[in-house]
Structure formats: structure tokens, C-alpha cells
Homo-oligomer: A and B are copies of this chain.
């Protein structure tokens, strides 16, 4: 946790390496699920920013650190500001309770490693 940018780089590296290994295994159901997951956040009736914020809130209440990191990266790419991020955090905290707090701490540490909106 000492270097947010190194953590982000390590996260990205492991994620890409293992996604490639999973895809190479050739299980059709898994590969189709990955394709579905990639498209689920595309803009449609709802814009990409709103969908990333939903993905972020869902990831926080389910307490999935890697999912949170991914949606923080994507939400920032969609222009979500720090103030908006903390409002999204606040909704997840109220819905999910104090067990969300350890993940919130790590999310804020991750946010420090991302470029400003």
C-alpha cells in the first residue's frame, strides 16, 4: 500500500496476464462471460459514467477490492471528480455498513494514485 502507482501497475499487469491465460484455456462460457462483462458498461440508455458509478457502488457493497480498483480507474477516465467519487462512496457505505470501511480506505489510497479528473 506504500506506493499507489506501483500497486496500480502491479494490478494491471496481473490482470492482463491472467485474463490472457483464462482466454487461452478456451472455455466458451467463460470467454462469452468476459465479452458480456466488457460490454455491460458501454453507453446506451444510460451513459458510461453512470454505469461505472453503479459498478463502483456494487463492487464496494460486495467488498471486491480488485473490482473497486477497476471501476475507480474507469470512472476517473469518464471524468468522475473526487467529490463525486466520495458521494458514490457515501452511498455504498450507508447501504453496506461499516464492513465497507476497510475497502473504502483502500479505495481512497488507490484514488491517490490516479490522475486528477
Contacts and interface: CB of A to CB of B under 8 A. Distances in A.
- Chain A interface SS verdict (over half): helix
Count copies of this chain in the complex: 6
B46 A36 contact: no
Interface string A89-111: 11111111111111011101100
A91 B37 CA distance: 9
A100 to B, nearest CB: 7
A117 to B, nearest CB: 11
A103 to B, nearest CB: 9
A97 B57 CA distance: 13
24 contacts: A21-B108, A21-B109, A22-B108, A27-B83, A29-B39, A30-B90, A30-B93, A33-B93, A34-B101, A45-B87, A50-B53, A54-B56, A54-B57, A55-B91, A55-B95, A57-B57, A57-B58, A61-B97, A62-B62, A63-B64, A67-B101, A94-B97, A96-B96, A97-B99
